Every structure is written in structure tokens, then in C-alpha cells.
Amino acid sequence: MTIKILAIDDDKVAHAKIREALEQDDNELITAMNGVDGLKLADEQAPNIILLDIEMAGKDGYQVCAELKANPNCTKIPVIILSSHSAIEERLKGYQVGADDFLVKPFEGAYLNAKVNLLLKNAQQKSALEQQYQEAQNTARVAMSGTVELSSVMKFLKQSLNSPNIELLIKQFFETMRQFSLQSCVMVVGGDANDWFSSVGVISPLEQELLEMCDKETRILDYDNRTIVNFPAVSLLVKNMPIEDDERYGRIKDLLPFLIEAINARINTLATHQALLSQSEQLMHSFNLIRHNLFYLAEGMVKNRSDSQMIMDKLLNELSYDLLGMGMEEQQEEFILDRIDTAIDKTMQKMDTGKEMRNTLTFILKHLKKIMQQHEILMEGYGQSLIHQDEQQDVGGDEDGDIELF
């Protein structure tokens, strides 16, 4: 799949830098030199992502971003703001006009590539979840007449898109099941061990065995008034299906896969986020080790040169003193000392070529420090966004209003 990237920047050098970083076999780069042309291309070309410079003649980046987000054809396109300023005020302006990310110029190509890939991945996941939500809503409108049950499902699907952790996600699911007067157990598949949840009391050992041993290749399994629904990351056991009411039983059985699929998708998304955080921590640790090792290497080179100079100076002084006692003629002594001086000078000249190595190491250290600082800012902002989502969920969790479908 070709990824279409629109770069709006009045600097041709910036275009070249972006092209070098992003124009691969599966990328198509479109460029605009001003905001007006950029808005037109965004509407006509429907790019997958937009890179937007702030400082441009005519309409600046903030105005362009606001107009992009106001255009129904462009509102869902992720926008990365490019700016030579890193102040919080600049970032707030970008946030206020709907930007999705902020990158300070000058930037490394690999860093830009990583941001673009992450935003595209998030956009794809969000689009997939929105598509699932839309499909669930459309199917439910046609297939079911129970509007109260349907509104509860829609409410949960909407909540699941922003659940910051598995515990809250399952809590919201159990609240939906309570509205259906259903008791249930959930198994969340983990790498080392499974996590267990029950809407009433503690899950029993037999219930755990049923969920673990059932055929995972079968999506829905029925045992009298018990139903098991399986997805790769989560399995559900409903303990009191309304088998006495065929119509309601059929509606609920149609609803359960949508609910569990939403949980499965959110669990995968949370796992991806956690993996990214873990990789970031490992990356920061590696950067720290590299910085320390390079620092001590450069320090050792400087010390070795200084020690070598002292040894050679000491040797020369000792030879000068020893030669006085050897009975040599003054001309012979001067010849030998000159030869030694020349050898020492050549040796030190060779050692002085290490300055280039030290300069290189110094540049690498500064560069690593800058990358680490930028990465720490990015991860801190991501962490704060998760906390904000959690707070929003706590505030919204007390609202009992149903979603109005019709």
C-alpha cells in the first residue's frame, strides 16, 4: 500500500530533508510551498499524513491546520507540526488547532520517520476501531429491536476506544452486562499467565477450566444456559443466558461477539502501547550506556596522551643526565639527544591525530544527549496523555445517560 505524505513548507531544503527521510518504495511525497496550495492539495489528494511548517508567508501553519481540521475531507488526516521553536506555547497553539504531533527543527530523519510511522499506525488502529463501531451500529440497527440493549452496547463500544487499562475496560463491560441482567466471567490471555475477572464474586476453578480448555477455534460455544465467546486475546463465559426467551436470547447472542471483539481490539492496542513504552525504556538505557562508555573512552585517550608525554619527558631528562657520565663528546651527545627529540616529536604528532577521534566522540555524545532529551519529552507527554484519559474516564464513568440511537 502506497503511503501518501503531504509536506507544506516554504523551504525547499526542508522538502529535501523530508524526502530523504520518507520517500521510500511505499511512500509518495507531495510538496506545497505555501498554505493555500497545501490546503488545495490536501482536499484533492487525500494524503495519509500531513507535515506542516509553522512559519510561512501568507497563512501560517496554525491557520492552515485549523482550516484542515474544519474540512470534512481532511479532518481525520494526522498532522505533524514542524517548528524551529520548542516552547510550550507553540505546542499549545498546535494542540488548540487540532495538530496530532509536534516536531522541532532541525530534526533527524530517523526521528521523523518514527513519528510518521507511529501516527499512521495509530490512525489505522483508530480507523479500524471506528469501522468496527460503525459496522456494529449498522448491524444492530437492522437486526435488533431492543433499543435499550443496543444503546448500552454502543455506549460500551465508545468507551472502549479510550479505556486506558484492561481493568477499567472489563469494569465497563461488566456494567453493560449488568444492564442485560447477565452474570459473566472473563479470561484475558497473557504471555506468562492469564488474568481472570468475574462480575459476581470470585471466578471458580471449574469456570477457569472451562474457559482454558474450550475449543478456541470455535467463536461461540453453547452449553444449556451458558455461552462461551472466544477471541484471540479474550474469552467470555456468560452463566445465565435467557434461554426461556428465544427473541431476547437471539439478540444477546448477536451482541456478545461485538462486545468481545471491541475488548479484543482494545487489549491489542494497549499491548502495543506497552510494548512501545518498554522499547523506549530499553532504548534510553542503551543510550545511557553508550554515552557513559564513549565518555570514559574519550577521557582515557586524553589521559593516555598526557601520561605518554610525561614518560617521554622523563626519559629524555634521564638520558641527558646519563649521557654526561658516559664520557661522550658534546657533539655525540647532541646527536643522540636530537635523534631522541625528533622521535618524541613524531610520536606526539601521531598521538595528536587522536584529536579528530575525540572531536568525533564529543559530537556523538552531544547528539545522543539531545536525542535522549527529546525522547524523554515525548514519553513524558505520552504518559500525561494516558493520565488525562484515565481522569476523563473517571469523570465520565458516573454518567448514566444512554446513547440516543433513534
**Which residue is associated with the grid cell 499524513?**
49
Residue 299 has pLDDT above 80, yes or no: no
- Residue among 248, 129, 124 nearest 181 (CA): 248
123-137, 221-235, 270-284: least confident range: 270-284
Residue 234 has pLDDT above 90, yes or no: yes
Spatial separation of the C-alpha atoms in residues 77 and 80, rounded to whole Å: 10
Dihedral of CA atoms 158, 162, 165, 171 in degrees, nearest 10, equals -30
pLDDT digits (tens, 9 = 90+) for 273-295: 877 777 777 777 777 777 777 77
Q: What angle do CA 384, 370, 354 make, to 5 degrees?
A: 160
Band of pLDDT at residue 132, cut at 50, 70 and 90: confident
Name the packing angle between helices 246-324 and 354-396 (round to 10°). Answer: 160
pLDDT digits (tens, 9 = 90+) for 314-371: 777 777 777 666 766 777 767 777 777 787 777 766 666 556 666 776 777 677 677 7
pLDDT digits (tens, 9 = 90+) for 164-206: 889 999 999 999 999 889 999 999 998 778 999 999 878 888 8
In sequence order, what are the beta bridge partners of 27? 3
Q: How many CB atoms lie within 10 A of CB 110?
A: 10
Residue bearing the bigger pLDDT, 88 or 140: 88
Residue 403 has pLDDT above 60, yes or no: no
**Which residue is associated with the grid cell 482494545?**
266
Q: In the numeric block, which cell numbers belong to residue 379?
A: 514519553
Spatial separation of the C-alpha atoms in residues 7 and 107, rounded to whole Å: 15
Residue 233 has pLDDT above 50, yes or no: yes
Q: Which long-range contacts (CB under 8 A, 24 or more apart) does 386-390 make?
A: 386/164, 389/162, 389/164, 390/164, 390/165, 390/168
- Residue among 208, 173, 175 nearest 193 (CA): 208
H helices within 234-245, ranges in order? none
pLDDT at 313: 76
Q: Which long-range contacts (CB under 8 A, 24 or more apart) does 106-112 make?
A: 106/17, 107/17, 107/82, 108/371, 109/17, 109/20, 109/21, 109/22, 110/21, 111/371, 111/374, 112/18, 112/21, 112/22, 112/51
Residue 31 has pLDDT above 80, yes or no: yes
DSSP 40: H
Average pLDDT of the segment spanning 109-115: 86
Average pLDDT of the segment spanning 101-107: 88
Band of pLDDT at residue 52, cut at 50, 70 and 90: very high
Dihedral of CA atoms 118, 119, 124, 128 in degrees, nearest 10, equals 100
Residue bearing the bigger pLDDT, 51 or 295: 51
Spatial separation of the C-alpha atoms in residues 252 and 230, rounded to whole Å: 15
Q: In the numeric block, which cell numbers belong to residue 201?
A: 464474586
Read off φ and ψ for residue 191, nearest 5 degrees.
Answer: -65, -50
pLDDT at 213: 86
Q: In the numeric block, which cell numbers belong to residue 333?
A: 651527545
Spatial separation of the C-alpha atoms in residues 276 and 65, rounded to whole Å: 28
Band of pLDDT at residue 404, cut at 50, 70 and 90: very low
Residue 25 has pLDDT above 70, yes or no: no
Strands 27-32 and 184-188: unpaired
Average pLDDT of the segment spanning 7-33: 85
